[in-house]
Structure 1
Amino acid sequence: MHNILFASSEAYPLMKTGGLADVSASLPAALKELGCTVRVLIPGYPAALDTIKKSRRRKIAQLTIRDEPVTLWQTPIKGADVTFWVMECAPFSDRPGNPYQDPDGNDWPDNAERFHLFCELTRLLALGQGGVNWTPDVVHCNDWQTGLVPALLHDHPERPATVFTIHNLAYQGLFPAEIRHTLELPETFWHMDSLEFYGKVSFIKGGIAYADQLTTVSPGYAEEIRTPEYGCGLDGLLRAREAYLSGILNGVNYADWNPQTDPHLVANYHAGDLDNKSVCKQDLLQRLNLHAGSTDQPLLGFVGRLVEQKGIDLILDSLPWLLKQGCRVVVLGSGDSDLEQRLQTLQKKFSGQLSVNLGYDEALAHQITAASDLFLMPSRFEPCGLNQMYSLYYGTLPLVHKVGGLRDTVFDPSEFTMDQANGFSFKEPTLESFQQALRRALTSYQNPEHWQSLQANGMAGDYSWKNSARAYKDLYQAALNQISER
């Protein structure tokens, strides 16, 4: 079976800022069940190093990359059924907080140098030059932070196959042209068909232009990024490489997300008996002081980044109307300071109906998913989305903008039969379209038989990594066949 080096800038539970972290733990575990040997490589942020100190870590390599001392640790992680390799070096390990941005929300000025170091370590390990007695057959890279790896490996005659996954094309790793000299990148990379992008160096183009196989995280997003509307200026290159581009839907790790076993819930439940879902709702309402109005009114939840991409402005503009209907709303996330301030202002005005929780809290995310009746995901674009699949499995109906992975997983009763429908969607990212979907959802909530049918359909779906992991395994073989034919 294949040896897979899975390189990612984050992986749960060592570092998480979004869905990439969940994928980087869950997909390798599913691949392991299919017989693959997987090593998950991530940078050694302070939080990650603190975590592995509590595990059976061991040093497996000591090397120097661009004058930076690098220690490579191998460790198992409790609750994660994969082996992690953690890169300890000063540009990552001496900097607490967000892995990509400073406390003011600005990108770290040396991100190019930092993630180039990470890519260089990945390259060395891929070629068996990292001081570790293990060589991968396939290097699976994720997002712009690892985009240079396929480019750096491209010309090596004995290299492994490369797969590059685009989790979010909007984040491209763009840096000034001069950085190519600082990083000592080959001048052959400075070309419109390589890393050059409108006079800047694009890390993500390294993955798109040079990887043997490309993937995105849903079939819908694979279609969208080949269009000018969603291609972020790279749609032409993606169309040129569409023969090597696949859309494979992300999955859910049922070991972490299962209402029947979830340790974060005050009471567990399952599809055959939803009584304890209402217990979870009442518990959360009480703890968050959401006491105003009737207990029969719907609870709406949002968990995610507070940025325009996630459609949080549509939620904000709808909150006064929703709350006047008697709904309760709970928000968990962080992001744009103006959006955070608007939410906090509304919370003061609608005390007892709106709970705003800034930051991220894994336990609270689970509790909101279980307690809510309706889960809001009005994203302007959404490569895959995991929260809608979590909510479906928890009997919480998602309301989504019909884009990317959201349209691949949520089926509105206005378009699908009642044995297929499992949530609500809207086509245009406008306030009018969003509020029309909200009205339909609130009307459905008043019809228990209709609502319970949608819940049953959602909870019966298979959102596991099982099928997706098989698709990735087949893709790895396709990439290996490509390089054997060179």
Structure 2
Amino acid sequence: MRVLFVTPECAPLTKTGGLGDVAAALPAALRAQGNDVRVLLPRYREIDPAGAEERAQLRLLGMDVRVLEKGDCLLVDAPALYDRDGNPYQDAAGVDWPDNALRFGLLSRVAALLAGSASPLAWRPEVLHCNDWPTALAPVYLHFEPARSGTVMTVHNLAFQGIFDAALLERLELPRATFAIEGVEFYGRLSFLKGGLVYADAISTVSPTYAREILTEELGCGLDGVLRERRGVLRGILNGVDGEIWNPMTDPHIAERYSWTSLERKAANKLALQSRLNLAPEPQAPLLGMVGRFTHQKGVDLLAGAVDELVQLGAQVCVLGHGEHEHEAALSAAAARHPGRVACAIGFNEELAHLIEAGADMFLMPSRFEPCGLNQMYSQRYGTPPVARATGGLIDTIMDGETGFLFAPAESAALVAAVTRALAIYGDARRWRELQRRGMTRDFSWAGPARQYAGLYAAHARAPVP
């Protein structure tokens, strides 16, 4: 199966979140199963063009564009749009680029061209797999092509929709007919993601539970009606994790490597983590870790409201991440109130993220909603049982009371109650070891999800004959 996988980010070339990891790991797993997958993304400033070969020169949306090929990647080279400091979506100050509609409209337009009969490339995909709003106009453009590949639209987070001024319709060269209720129109504005949901042949999201949740008004983010209309082509396919990068037996970032048969070695990572974050070196104190964006979605305020009680329970708490200022300030204040018991590292550090997974006793994920989540799978692999809200992919990947602990209300008190329940088992070394080992021996690899995607592709594949 020939698949063009279009994405705004792909690790290690460029990454801001989980999509970057998925865009690297899923195509690799599909290739390992015999599929021919190319990844299409913009050539941002941080992507070194050395060794890339030019495959096409195009004129699209009034701009000169080159398509470069480097390894398994196709790069959209338009320096005026992508050669900038900052990340794929924002400038160095964290402000959205004002021309994001054009930047990702062009990415979508190139993807549609390469998946249609007018493609300048000899290689023709049978399926175009689009990921999140920055690629979601591709099925809209492609819908009007006489011969085209099949299209799959994957929603990694429905809350991000790419909504812009309707006046951009002409600049993006979208047919006027698309600006309708059954099109890209969304309360008088232009919605990239809605367009993809309406025009794609198939829709997927990143966990079975989230696929059901987004059909509801509560978590449908205003698109639940569209999704209910298209529920016949919607399915949830759980993400996997990269077992080479996230493996306590081989991880180069941790103090001591270990496995489910040598869990006693995990203690060295706890001491290393306590030392690094200036926490009291207390081997018996339960250490609770969290890594992620400091946002309302991630329930960071629930943790901030629970910290004092968690410390009273005898726990230590360490958090790593960055995000909204109010959450950074609240967690920093908690660390100041409890020196040696609470640590807050603002920013992101890959090595420290791995050490927290290995060194903490439990991993906290109090998310208000979580399409899939990756850290809860990492933590189980590392023998660090997750304590998480019962939502989205957290429900699908955590066996409550057996590999982790779930709680329902989005309240600090519920988080404290779940940790208290975990501590009751933590105090029984034999039961805790059994719980750790169950999590560490689960299969969270990409092999199963890749087979499911291959089946989805097969159901919608088309050959765009020239």
Sort the TM-score into its range (normalised by shorter chain).
over 0.9
* Aligned residue number for residue 139 of structure 2: 150
Give distance in 2, aligned partners of 1:254 and 1:129: 39
Highest RCO, 1 vs 2 (Cα 8 Å, sep ≥ 6): 2
How far 1:295 sits from its partner (Å)?
Answer: 2.1
Give the secondary structure class of the aligned counterpart of 1:47.
Answer: coil
Partner AA of 2:460 in structure 1:
A
Q: Which moved more, 1:423-432 or 1:20-29?
A: 423-432
Give distance in 1, aligned partners of 2:334 and 2:94: 23
Give distance in 1, aligned partners of 2:106 and 2:364: 38
Give distance in 1, aligned partners of 2:415 and 2:287: 17
CA contact (8 A) 1:444 1:451 kept: yes
Partner AA of 1:58 in structure 2:
E
Give distance in 1, aligned partners of 2:338 and 2:218: 37
Residue 230 in structure 1 maps to residue 229 in structure 2: no
CA contact (8 A) 1:63 1:130 kept: no
CA contact (8 A) 1:378 1:401 kept: yes
Give distance in 2, aligned partners of 1:321 and 1:60: 60
Give distance in 2, aligned partners of 1:356 and 1:303: 10
Distance 1:89 1:130, change over 3 A: farther
> In the TM superposition, what are the counterparts of 1:21-100 in structure 2 within 5 Å?
21-49=20-48, 52-53=49-50, 56-76=51-71, 83-100=72-89
Give distance in 1, aligned partners of 2:393 and 2:17: 15
Give the secondary structure class of the aligned counterpart of 2:297.
Answer: helix
Partner AA of 1:352 in structure 2:
G
CA contact (8 A) 2:61 2:171 kept: no
* Aligned residue number for residue 292 of structure 2: 304
Partner of residue 340 from structure 1, selected from 328, 332, 357:
328
* Aligned residue number for residue 270 of structure 2: 281
TM-score norm. by structure 1 comes to 0.92
Give distance in 2, aligned partners of 1:142 and 1:10: 10
CA contact (8 A) 2:3 2:36 kept: yes
> In the TM superposition, what are the counterparts of 1:219-298 in structure 2 within 5 Å?
219-291=208-280, 294-298=282-286
How far 1:328 sits from its partner (Å)?
Answer: 2.0
Give the secondary structure class of the aligned counterpart of 1:308.
Answer: coil
* Aligned residue number for residue 461 of structure 1: 442
Q: Which moved more, 1:64-73 or 1:146-155?
A: 64-73
* Aligned residue number for residue 431 of structure 1: 412
Give the secondary structure class of the aligned counterpart of 1:382.
Answer: coil
Partner of residue 131 from structure 1, selected from 120, 134, 141:
120
CA contact (8 A) 2:289 2:317 kept: yes
* Aligned residue number for residue 426 of structure 2: 445
Partner of residue 176 from structure 1, selected from 128, 147, 165:
165
Residue 203 in structure 1 maps to residue 202 in structure 2: no
Give the secondary structure class of the aligned counterpart of 1:450.
Answer: helix
Give distance in 2, aligned partners of 1:332 and 1:71: 39
* Aligned residue number for residue 460 of structure 2: 479
CA contact (8 A) 1:44 1:92 kept: no
Distance 1:338 1:84, change over 3 A: same
Deviation per CA, 1:47-75, whole angstroms, max 9, x where unpaired?
Answer: 223xx54xx43333333323333233322
CA contact (8 A) 2:85 2:91 kept: no
Partner AA of 2:314 in structure 1:
G
Give distance in 2, aligned partners of 1:434 and 1:349: 20
Partner AA of 1:34 in structure 2:
Q
Partner AA of 2:211 in structure 1:
A
Partner AA of 1:180 in structure 2:
L
Give the secondary structure class of the aligned counterpart of 2:461.
Answer: helix
Residue 4 in structure 1 maps to residue 27 in structure 2: no
Distance 1:260 1:209, change over 3 A: same
* Aligned residue number for residue 400 of structure 1: 388
Partner of residue 358 from structure 1, selected from 346, 362, 367:
346
* Aligned residue number for residue 383 of structure 1: 371
Partner AA of 1:4 in structure 2:
V
* Aligned residue number for residue 80 of structure 1: none
Which blocks of at least 5 consecutive residues in structure 2 are unaligned? none
Give distance in 2, aligned partners of 1:10 and 1:234: 24
Partner AA of 2:267 in structure 1:
S
CA contact (8 A) 1:10 1:21 kept: yes
Give distance in 1, aligned partners of 2:135 and 2:379: 30
How far 1:350 sits from its partner (Å)?
Answer: 2.1
TM-score norm. by structure 2 comes to 0.96
Give distance in 2, aligned partners of 1:75 and 1:150: 25
Give distance in 2, aligned partners of 1:84 and 1:279: 40
Give distance in 2, aligned partners of 1:75 and 1:355: 42
How far 1:104 sits from its partner (Å)?
Answer: 4.3
Give distance in 1, aligned partners of 2:233 and 2:383: 37
Give distance in 2, aligned partners of 1:152 and 1:360: 37
Give distance in 2, aligned partners of 1:276 and 1:129: 58
How far 1:403 sits from its partner (Å)?
Answer: 0.6
CA contact (8 A) 1:43 1:92 kept: no
* Aligned residue number for residue 17 of structure 1: 16
How far 1:43 sits from its partner (Å)?
Answer: 1.3
Provide the aligned C-alpha RMSD in A: 1.7
Give distance in 2, aligned partners of 1:120 and 1:181: 14
CA contact (8 A) 2:320 2:344 kept: yes
How far 1:129 sits from its partner (Å)?
Answer: 4.2
